Amino acid sequence: MFISRFFEMIKFVCKDCNKIFEADPIKKEYFDPIFGPCSKAVAKCPDCNMECNEYIKPKPQKASSQPAMPSCSTGSCNNCPSMN
């Protein structure tokens, strides 16, 4: 089943403007050198029109409960080991 809108309105962060905004996400597929084909949600910044990545809330770190794993640039794609 093809789902073009795979999220509701979600938050994005513009690193240029240092701004967090909500937008309708666009699914973007890209090639990660470690994990291969990945997809992520992007949106255009309302101020500078730059393509921005999804805002990931900082997670509290649990000390040494999990081994450090490499992930793709967003850490949220289907190929990331942390999502399994």
> Which of 5, 7, 9, 16 touches Zn ion by CB under 5 A?
16
Distance CA 27, CA 22 (A): 15
Q: Which of residues 28-57 bind Zn ion (CB under 5 A)?
A: 45, 47-48
Count of residues touching Zn ion (by CB under 5 A): 6
Binding segment toward Zn ion, per CB under 5 A, in 12-20, 24-32, 36-44, 53-61: 12-20
CB of 45 closer than 8 Å to CB of 19: yes
Task: For residues 13 and 30, give the distance between their C-alpha atoms in angstroms, rounded to a whole number.
Answer: 19
User: Interface residues with Zn ion (CB under 5 A)?
Assistant: 14, 16-17, 45, 47-48
